[in-house]
Amino acid sequence: MADAKVIPFDEDRERPRRERRRAGAGRAGGPRRSERAEKGAEKRPQGPQGPAEPPVAVVDEPAPLPPVPEQRDGGGWDRRIAGGLAFLRRRITGDYEVDEFGYDRELTDQVLMSLLRPVYEKYFRVEVKGIENIPAEGGALIVANHSGTLPLDGLMLQVAVHDRHPAQRHLRLLAADLVFMLPVVNEVARKAGHTLACAEDAQRLLEAGELVGVMPEGFKGIGKPFGERYKLQRFGRGGFVSTALRAGTPIVPCSIVGAEEIYPMIGNAKTLARLLGIPYFPVTPTFPWLGPLGAVPLPTKWTIQFGEPIATDGYPPEAAEDPMLMFNLTDQVREQIQHTLYKLLVQRRSVFF
């Protein structure tokens, strides 16, 4: 019988451990410690029952985050409800201010602007350019083209000035006599800050530091046929220039593209208009053929651009009585608006996009 090879006990115990360590298997039931961890580990103390269990690595847990304050009711609905109730209480008790023209600032901000804003943002998708040309404070006269069969361009202009200007300024529009003859429209127009298109009211507003909006084309612009779209009509006798000269406020030309196509006016029932006492009775591809549905405007894409202001404070006081100067300034404003309209039309990709 061959001599049996005697293997020392220690070597027999260490060899499988070295083989397992080479194979990367590690100890059963846990991950293999790295060599760096083995070198840095302390010696395990020897107890009476043999070697003690190896120390377990302790991983530092991150510090707990501070508690997040609880947001009630979706984060603000409680404040909205409270604000709405306070608004109703002030309306019922009469605890609100109205200026000498009938302008109700709180009602305009809380109700009227909220009703017009979805039409402005979602339906017509109005794009505003040159808002920096409107002064941050003090009076200024904004002169714009007028179109669209119904005066929605004035309302969208009012929202654009309020929502896009950094100072959220309010535009006081000058409206025609017909606006203040209609039962419901009269009251709403006064509350929204509109006033009669006369030189006296406009000058008082400008001298009080208000933004005043005027559309000199009047009914000639808003009621022109679709074939003459974006061709400016006569600007009157230049009364708005005389008002700006007397108040010493700048004139800001404004061009609006997109309003011409909301109600394409292909005809005018003049006999019916005379019977109703209105300047024109529009006939469009949808009205009056579709009834009330035909009164829904087409969802065109709008662009409103404010041009560089024309200063008037450098003229002497008697300049407001100079007809030649008024004619020249009126023509300058008109030409600037017309030129900007043509430029915007060239840049426009589509009526609806």
With respect to residue 67, please indicate whether it lies within any of the assigned structural domains.
no
183's tokens: 């039962």
Confidence category of residue 289, pLDDT binned at 50, 70, 90: very high
Distance, in Å, from the CA atom of 44 to the CA atom of 51, rounded to the nearest integer, reads 7
62's tokens: 């991150």
Strands 127-129 and 303-306, how do they pair?
parallel
* pTM metric for this prediction: 0.77
Give per-residue pLDDT as tens, 157-216.
999 999 999 999 999 999 999 999 999 999 999 999 999 999 999 999 999 999 999 999
Point out which residues pair with 268 in neighbouring strands.
Answer: 282
With respect to residue 89, please indicate whether it lies within any of the assigned structural domains.
no
Output the average pLDDT for the chain.
84
Q: How many independent structural domains does the chain possess?
A: 1
DSSP string, 129-171: E-GGGS-SSS-EEEEE---SSSTHHHHHHHHHHHHHSTT-PPE
With respect to residue 118, please indicate whether it lies within any of the assigned structural domains.
yes
Q: What is the Cα Rg of the chain in Å? A: 38
Distance, in Å, from the CA atom of 77 to the CA atom of 87, rounded to the nearest integer, reads 15
Q: What is the pLDDT of residue 64?
A: 55
With respect to residue 6, please indicate whether it lies within any of the assigned structural domains.
no
Contact at 8 Å (CB) between 280 and 273? yes
With respect to residue 74, please indicate whether it lies within any of the assigned structural domains.
no
> Which residue reads 């005379």 in tokens?
274
With respect to residue 128, please indicate whether it lies within any of the assigned structural domains.
yes
With respect to residue 65, please indicate whether it lies within any of the assigned structural domains.
no
Range of the structural domain that residue 104 is part of: 95-262+297-347
CATH number at residue 165: 3.40.1130.10
Contact at 8 Å (CB) between 137 and 167? yes
> Which residue reads 């020249």 in tokens?
328
With respect to residue 226, please indicate whether it lies within any of the assigned structural domains.
yes
